[in-house]
C-alpha cells in the first residue's frame, strides 16, 4: 500500500514518480482521500524539481482519466481540435473553426469561459442573441455532423482533477511550472476526444508565457504529450505583443470575426487564423499536402463558405444567424468615448495585458466566476505597433455602458500605449512551428 508522504519525499529529492504513483495522487486527490496540505506539498516539490517528459505525460493521462472521456466516433472523418493559451482580442476560434469545417474538417470543440481580463470563446458566442452553449452530447454530435463544427461548454465532469488542482495551484504559488501547465491543457484535449490538436502558444506582453523560449518549451512539452498519446499534435508559437485583433470585447469581437469571414477586414487576426486553419485541415485530411490545405482555406474564405458554416452552427445552437447580415442585432453599448494621443511619434510599445484590464474595467471580463460580463462593451484599437500618430489623434474608442471604471481605464490605457520618435522593430507574428 502506498503512503502519500513517500511520494512527497521522493519528489522532494528530485526522484521520478511512476505511472502508478501519479495515478494514486490524482485519483486520491479527486476522491478527497488526499488532503490539500499534502497535495500542496507535492505540487511545490514538483515546482522546485520539475518533471521529465514521461512523468508529465503520465500525469496528463491520469488527469484526463479522472472524469468523462468524450467519444466522438459517431462523427465520420478525423476530428481536429484547437487550443490557444490565451491573450487579448484572440478571436481565432470564431474564424478558424468555420473555415476548417468549410474545407471538410470536423471541429467538435469544448471551450471555457474567460476568467481574467477578457471573455472566453463561450462568452463571445453568447453575445449572439439566443446562442446556447449548454448542448447535450447527442445534439453536439448531430450539429458537428450537420455543420462541420460546434462549440459548447465543457461538461462539469470533464477532467475534474484539473479543476481541483488548478484552484490549489492558484493559492500555493505553483501555477508557473511547465509540466503542470502542459498537463492542465493537454488533459482536457485528450479527454475531449479529438484525433488531432493544433495549439496556438502565445508569447509577449499579453501572454502567460512572455518569453519566446518559455513559450517554445511549453509548445514542445504539449506536442510531446500529444505524440505519446497517439494524437497528431502541432503547435505554433505566435505573438501577443499587442492585441491580436482590433476589437477587445465580446460582441465587438464577434463583429470583427464576421467581417473577416466576409472578406471585409485583414490584419494579424486573419493571418494567424489562416495559419491555424491550414494546419487543422492538413491534419483532418492527411491525404493532401499542407500547401493544398492552405489553398483550400483561402478558397473557403473568399467564397463565403466559411461564413455559411458559421451561420449553420449559430442556427443549430438556437442563435440568430441574421447577425451575420445585420450586425446591429448584436448588443451595442450606450456610448463611445475616444481616447486620444498625448504626443506625436510612432506606437512603440503596447502593454497588452493592461489593454485587457482596461476592457475588464469597462465590464468586458470577469474577475470572479460569479461576475456578469457586459457583452456590449469593450475597446476598438485604432492604432497598432509601428503606426504613426499625431497629438489629438484617436488611439482607441471605448464602448461604454457603466462609467464607473471609465476614468481608470482611460488612465491605464494611456500608460499602456507608448510612443517614440522613431519607428520600432515589429515582432514576428508567427515565431515558429513545433511538430
Establish whether 13 is a catalytic residue: no
Q: Name which of 139, 3, 14, 5 is nearest 75 in CA terms.
A: 139
- Taking alpha carbons only, the member of 318, 376, 321, 331 closest to residue 131 is 318
Q: Which of 162, 200, 224, 268 is catalytic?
A: 162
Question: How many Cα atoms sit within 13 Å of 63 on the Cβ side?
Answer: 27
276 vs 281: CA distance, rounded Å: 9
- From CA 41, how far away is CA 66, in angstroms rounded? 21
Q: Count CB-CB contacts under 10 A for residue 323.
A: 23
Catalytic residue among 11, 82, 124, 188: 188
82 in catalytic set: no
Q: For residue 287, what is the DSSP state?
A: T
Q: What one-character-per-residue DSSP string does 1-22 give?
A: ---HHHHHHHHHTTPPPPHHHH
Q: Decide if 221 contacts 182 (C-beta within 8 A).
A: yes
Q: Is 169 a catalytic residue?
A: yes
State the Cα–Cα distance between residues 343 and 419, nearest whole angstrom. 7
184 is catalytic: yes
Annotated catalytic residue within 11, 79, 82, 83: 83
User: In which residue are the cell numbers 448542448 written?
Assistant: 135
Query: For this structure, is 123 an active site residue?
Result: no
Q: Which residue has the cell 509540466?
A: 179
Candidate list 11, 78, 169, 366, residue with the active-site label: 169
Q: Assess contact for 92 and 256: CB atoms under 8 A.
A: no
Which one, of 352, 415, 404, 346, lies nearest residue 379 by Cα?
352
Q: Which residues are catalytic?
A: 83, 162, 169, 184, 188
Amino acid at each position: 500500500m502506498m503512503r502519500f508522504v513517500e511520494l512527497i519525499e521522493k519528489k522532494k529529492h528530485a526522484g521520478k514518480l511512476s505511472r502508478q504513483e501519479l495515478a494514486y495522487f490524482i485519483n486520491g486527490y479527486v476522491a478527497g482521500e488526499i488532503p490539500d496540505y499534502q497535495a500542496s506539498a507535492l505540487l511545490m516539490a514538483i515546482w522546485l524539481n520539475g518533471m521529465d517528459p514521461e512523468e508529465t505525460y503520465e500525469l496528463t493521462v491520469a488527469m484526463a482519466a479522472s472524469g468523462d472521456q468524450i467519444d466522438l466516433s459517431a462523427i465520420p472523418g478525423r476530428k481536429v481540435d484547437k487550443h490557444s493559451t490565451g491573450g487579448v482580442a484572440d478571436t481565432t476560434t470564431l474564424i478558424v473553426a468555420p473555415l476548417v469545417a468549410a474545407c471538410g474538417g470536423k471541429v467538435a470543440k469544448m471551450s471555457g469561459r474567460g476568467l481574467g481580463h477578457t471573455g472566453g470563446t463561450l462568452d463571445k458566442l453568447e453575445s449572439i442573441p439566443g446562442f446556447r452553449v449548454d448542448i447535450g452530447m447527442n445534439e453536439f454530435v448531430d450539429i458537428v455532423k450537420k455543420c462541420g463544427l460546434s462549440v459548447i461548454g465543457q461538461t462539469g465532469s470533464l477532467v475534474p482533477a484539473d479543476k481541483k488542482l488548478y484552484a490549489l495551484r492558484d493559492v500555493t504559488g505553483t501555477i508557473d511550472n511547465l509540466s503542470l501547465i502542459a498537463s492542465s491543457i493537454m488533459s482536457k484535449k485528450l479527454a475531449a476526444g479529438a484525433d488531432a490538436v493544433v495549439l496556438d502558444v502565445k508569447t509577449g506582453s499579453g501572454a502567460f508565457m512572455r518569453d519566446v523560449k518559455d513559450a517554445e518549451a511549453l509548445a514542445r512539452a504539449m506536442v510531446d504529450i500529444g505524440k505519446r498519446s497517439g494524437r497528431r499534435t502541432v503547435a505554433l508559437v505566435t505573438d501577443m505583443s499587442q492585441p491580436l485583433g482590433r476589437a477587445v470585447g465580446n460582441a465587438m469581437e464577434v463583429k470583427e470575426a464576421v467581417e473577416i469571414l466576409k472578406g471585409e477586414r485583414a490584419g494579424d487576426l486573419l493571418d494567424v487564423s489562416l495559419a491555424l486553419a491550414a494546419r487543422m485541415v492538413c491534419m483532418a485530411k492527411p491525404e493532401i499536402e499542407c500547401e493544398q490545405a492552405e489553398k483550400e482555406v483561402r478558397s473557403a474564405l473568399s467564397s463565403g463558405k466559411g461564413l455559411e458554416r458559421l451561420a449553420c452552427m449559430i442556427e443549430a445552437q438556437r442563435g440568430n444567424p441574421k447577425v451575420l447580415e445585420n450586425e446591429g442585432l448584436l448588443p451595442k453599448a450606450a456610448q463611445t468615448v475616444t481616447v486620444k494621443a498625448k504626443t506625436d511619434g510612432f506606437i512603440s510599445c503596447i502593454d497588452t495585458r493592461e489593454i485587457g484590464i482596461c476592457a475588464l474595467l469597462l465590464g468586458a471580463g470577469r474577475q470572479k466566476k460569479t461576475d456578469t460580463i457586459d457583452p456590449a462593451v469593450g475597446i476598438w484599437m485604432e492604432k497598432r505597433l509601428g503606426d504613426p500618430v499625431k497629438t489629438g489623434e484617436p488611439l482607441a474608442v471605448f464602448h461604454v455602458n457603466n462609467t464607473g471604471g471609465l476614468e481608470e481605464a482611460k488612465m491605464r490605457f494611456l500608460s499602456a500605449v507608448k510612443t517614440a520618435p522613431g519607428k520600432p522593430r515589429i515582432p514576428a507574428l508567427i515565431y515558429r512551428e513545433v511538430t
